[in-house]
Amino acid sequence: GYGVAGLAAMVLAGAALSSLLEPAMPSPTAGASSQTAPVVAGYVRAPTAPNGRSWPSRSGYVEGYEQSNAGGLSEVLVDNSQNDVDMFAKLVSLDGPSALPVRTFFVAARSRFTVGGLRIGTYDLRYRNLASGGLLRSPAFILEEVQTERGTQHSTPTMKLHPSGDGSLQTYALGDADF
């Protein structure tokens, strides 16, 4: 198994990798924030998901999208409980040559959704505010599984969604092409 030093080295390596994956953000100008998702002019929420399927009636996976990177022990709790707007979200794997959505889901206003059974790897969370059309992305994060004397410890981060990128989780504005 891994000793404390080995685990610390993995965490430090993960933090270093995470910082390499995050884009350099320009310094915000006075009165403006580089983190704010813009309200998309003329945005109107579509009655269906982008693939034409119905939005779920409550938080859950959107039918018709492949749900991959399964078979692991890690999970991500996506917390939209502080917001009065629905969110359309994608958990994106950053391990390949290009970013790949591996789970696509809907998180209803004032609710949470657990994305479970995830394999280890580097991910980010991308989401659209379905009221404003604004898009945001989380910083990269790493899901790990570590064998210990007590079994396998696995990652269970909580990702709090913010309608405009002004919350405690640092977020980045995102363009349609990257969603």
User: In sequence order, what are the residues at sequence separation of 6 or more whose Cβ sits closer than 8 angstroms to the Cβ of residue 159?
Assistant: 76, 77, 78, 79, 125, 138, 169
3-state SS class at 89: strand
What pLDDT sits at residue 38? 63
> Where does 4-22+56-178 sit in CATH, by number?
2.60.40
**pLDDT at residue 40, as a whole number:** 82
Q: Taking a C-beta distance cutoff of 8 angstroms, is the pair 69, 76 a contact?
A: no
- ∠ CA 11-15-136, rounded to 5°: 130
Contact yes or no for 165/37 (Cβ under 8 A): yes
Contacts of 176 (CB under 8 A, 6+ apart): 135
For 6, phi and psi rounded to 5 degrees?
Answer: -65, -45
pLDDT tens for the chain, 179 residues: list them: 444 444 444 444 444 443 334 433 333 333 333 445 567 888 999 999 999 999 999 999 999 999 999 999 999 999 999 999 999 999 999 999 999 999 999 999 999 999 999 999 999 999 999 999 999 999 999 999 999 999 999 999 999 998 775 544 566 665 666 76
Q: What is the pLDDT of residue 21?
A: 41
Q: Is 8 helix (H, G, I), strand (E, B) or coil?
A: helix
Q: Where are the domains of the chain?
A: 4-22+56-178
